[in-house]
Amino acid sequence: MKKILAMLLALVMIFALAACGGQSAAPAQSGSEPAAPAEGGSEAPAASGGELAGTYDITVWCADAIVDLTKKQIEDFNATNTDGITFNATVEPVGEGDAATQMITDVEAGGDLFCFAQDQFARLVQAGALSKLGVQASQTVSEANDAGVVAAGSVGGELYAYPLTSDNGYFMYYDKSVIPEEDLDSLEALIADCEAAGKYFSMENETSAWYIASWFFGTGCVSDWETDSDGAFISVHDTFNSPEGLIAVKGMKKLLDSPMYLSSSDGAGFDSGCAIVVTGTWAFETVKGILGDNLGATDLPSFEVDGQTYHMGSFNGCKLMGVKPQTDAVKSAALHKLAQYLTGEQGQMERFNAVSWGPSNLADQATEEVQANPGLAALFQQNQYSVPQGQIHGSWWDIAKVIGTDVKAATDEAGLQAALDNYTAAISAVFNMSDEEKNAWSVIGALCGTNWDTDFAMTEVEPGVFQSEVLELKAGDELKCRQGASWDVNFPAENVVVEADGSYIVQLTIDGDTGTVELIAQ
């Protein structure tokens, strides 16, 4: 399907003018030619207002929290655009974490516009699920939004998605009745405060690579993954296993060794004995409801190793909006107009006012309302120490989170170094996998005493049908099937939840780009 789309769109674009941008059509530039679309994608074609006039039936995927707002915004676009465009939109609640999996499973059946988390970007480009922005639109969007978000939606110097938010990062919430303000920048002092009060310091250091990375970024380490123009990973420059990385795990070890350490990012932890929780803006309402006037929010602290102080870093990330490639070039141009409207300055500010999503639009970020939000203020404060979350191989998340477990188990510096050596070996294996390993399917989940950190091999029993060995599962266990020990390709979109204790074979049936998972009782 994606090759057919690419050929059709390439033919259409021979006759198209230069790409559109802004809220009105852009004129063709003398001597310019439209860029050839990537396989499975397309560049937004130009069209005049008259050419775009018409009614279009579309499907839009967005988070449940903004379904009603998105419907209103589309109605506003219908009422105010000067191109004669009317969208008859079906707006469906599909979370940013699930949209990419559903899109790559069946691009043709996916939403015409869809919101997704930035770590899903590479998968969508590879699947041909994103229509590239035109030249003028790319320039307008790039100038209006912060650079990190623009980079997150780009590959090969081309912009394939519209910035939606810039708030997917983390910082520190704390209980003011327990933590004195003068201790906020010292990890050691904060640990002592929690231990003295018998309260937990909660941060996901054994269950999430996303949070673990903050220690390494604080000492100057990097993990930069390179993709080709089609979004395929070709190399990585990673310095976690270095003298600076050893400093990072020494700092991490201080927290992991505390009896009041807890590996969680749940803001509800303040209701069950936490004095500190490292999490993001999504937890603000929960934390506010528990702590009230005792709610504090600030950047992450510094830690000390061998007399040197290092401020903890972090990932900063975002949400993006994609336009699905269309065989109708005029409909594609109209959809790009709508996407630019929904993600523009007004649209982002409306989402901030409605659900407190942090805008990527620079003008919105500078407003008094945004600056006065405690969670966003803390996030922006932490962002000066953060690293934009670029495109990262899907297997990295499982590889890196093991560092925390190994560090906690270490009893000396040799053990800490061994944790880094284990990490390096796993990273190297990503690019040394055989074709058989890359194509192998496995079961992973919270099952059989594991917590999304162990793959159970599957065997192809007939073409397109894969089965696990017999697994002893408990009611409430959750699982998925994935390929190549990576999250780049996995099924189903939602976790399979075991209904009753028993012995089961997990069976995956592949049919084209779709996969069906079932449990076969033994």
Given pLDDT bands bounded at 50, 70 and 90, which one contains residue 388? confident
H or E element that contains 471: strand 471-473
Query: Which residue type sits at 397?
Result: W
Query: Which residue type sits at 111?
Result: G
Instruction: Tell me the per-residue pLDDT of 225-238, one tens digit each, with 9 for 90 and over.
Output: 887 777 678 889 99
Task: Summarize the confidence of residues 27-33 as an average pLDDT.
Answer: 27
Q: Is the pLDDT of residue 8 over 50?
A: no
Separation CA 57–CA 41 (nearest Å)? 20
Separation CA 80–CA 474 (nearest Å)? 55
Measure the N-to-C terminal CA separation of the chain; round to a whole number of Å: 38
Lowest mean pLDDT among 5-14, 81-90, 167-176, 408-417: 5-14
Task: Summarize the confidence of residues 479-496 as an average pLDDT.
Answer: 89
Supply the pLDDT for residue 33.
27
Q: Is the pLDDT of residue 380 over 50?
A: yes
What is the DSSP-derived secondary structure letter of residue 470? Answer: P
Instruction: Tell me the per-residue pLDDT of 148-180, one tens digit each, with 9 for 90 and over.
Output: 899 889 988 899 999 999 988 999 999 999 999
Supply the pLDDT for residue 44.
58
- Phi then psi for residue 345, to 5 deg, are -55, -45
- List the one residue out of 188, 187, 130, 184 whose CA is nearest residue 159: 130
Supply the pLDDT for residue 403.
96
Give the other-Cβ count within 10 Å of 234's Cβ. 9
Query: Which residue type sits at 327?
Result: T
- List the one residue out of 179, 232, 252 whose CA is nearest residue 410: 252
Instruction: Tell me the per-residue pLDDT of 90-100, one tens digit each, with 9 for 90 and over.
Output: 999 998 878 88
Supply the pLDDT for residue 227.
78
Which range has the top average pLDDT, 201-205, 226-230, 452-456?
201-205
Supply the pLDDT for residue 234.
85
| Domain with residues 2-165+318-360, CATH architecture | 3-Layer(aba) Sandwich (3.40)
Domain with CATH 2.60.40.3620 in the chain: 435-521
Task: Summarize the confidence of residues 2-9 as an average pLDDT.
Answer: 39
Which range has the top average pLDDT, 50-59, 250-259, 384-393, 451-460?
250-259
Answer left, alpha or beta for residue 481, where phi above 0 means left and psi between -120 and 50 means alpha.
beta
Which range has the top average pLDDT, 14-18, 122-126, 478-482?
478-482
Q: Is the pLDDT of residue 384 over 90?
A: no
Supply the pLDDT for residue 391.
75
* The total number of residues written for the chain in this structure: 522
Supply the pLDDT for residue 39.
38
* Domain 435-521 class, CATH top level: mainly beta
Instruction: Tell me the per-residue pLDDT of 235-269, one tens digit each, with 9 for 90 and over.
Output: 899 999 999 999 999 999 999 999 999 999 999 99
Residue pair 91/74 in contact (Cβ under 8 Å)? The answer is yes
Task: Summarize the confidence of residues 438-446 as an average pLDDT.
Answer: 92
Percent of the chain with pLDDT over 70: 90
Task: Summarize the confidence of residues 423-448 as an average pLDDT.
Answer: 88
Q: Is the pLDDT of residue 59 over 80?
A: yes
Instruction: Tell me the per-residue pLDDT of 63-74, one tens digit each, with 9 for 90 and over.
Output: 999 999 999 999
Supply the pLDDT for residue 434.
82
Question: HEC states along 168-237?
Answer: EECEEEEECCCCCHHHCCEHHHHHHHHHHHCCEEECCCCCCHHHHHHHHHHCCCCEEEEECCCCCEEEEE
In Å, the largest CA–CA distance within the chain is 72
Query: 103 Cβ partners below 8 Å, 6+ apart?
Result: 110, 111, 114, 116, 124, 127, 129, 322, 324
Domain with CATH 3.40.190.10 in the chain: 2-165+318-360, 169-315+391-430
HSE-CB at 144 with a 13 A cutoff on CA atoms is 23
What radius of gyration do the chain's Cα atoms show?
24
Task: Summarize the confidence of residues 113-117 as an average pLDDT.
Answer: 95
DSSP 348-408: HHHHHHHH-PPP-BHHHHTSHHHHT-HHHHHHHHHHTTEEE-----TTHHHHHHHHHHHHH
Tokens 């899109």, residue located: 103
Supply the pLDDT for residue 36.
33
Supply the pLDDT for residue 435.
82
Distance of CA 32 to the CA centre of its chain: 35
Percent of the chain with pLDDT over 90: 69
Tokens 């069906």, residue located: 516
Supply the pLDDT for residue 139.
96
Lowest mean pLDDT among 16-20, 120-124, 131-135, 257-261: 16-20
Angle, CA 385 vertex, CA 379 and CA 388 arms, to 5°: 80
Q: Is the pLDDT of residue 514 over 70?
A: yes
Query: 129 Cβ partners below 8 Å, 6+ apart?
Result: 40, 41, 100, 103, 104, 107, 110, 322, 324, 325
Give the other-Cβ count within 10 Å of 232's Cβ. 12
What is the DSSP-derived secondary structure letter of residue 513? Answer: T
Q: How high is the mean pLDDT of the chain?
A: 88
What is the DSSP-derived secondary structure letter of residue 281? Answer: G
| Domain with residues 169-315+391-430, CATH architecture | 3-Layer(aba) Sandwich (3.40)
Tokens 């949070």, residue located: 211
What is the DSSP-derived secondary structure letter of residue 13? Answer: H
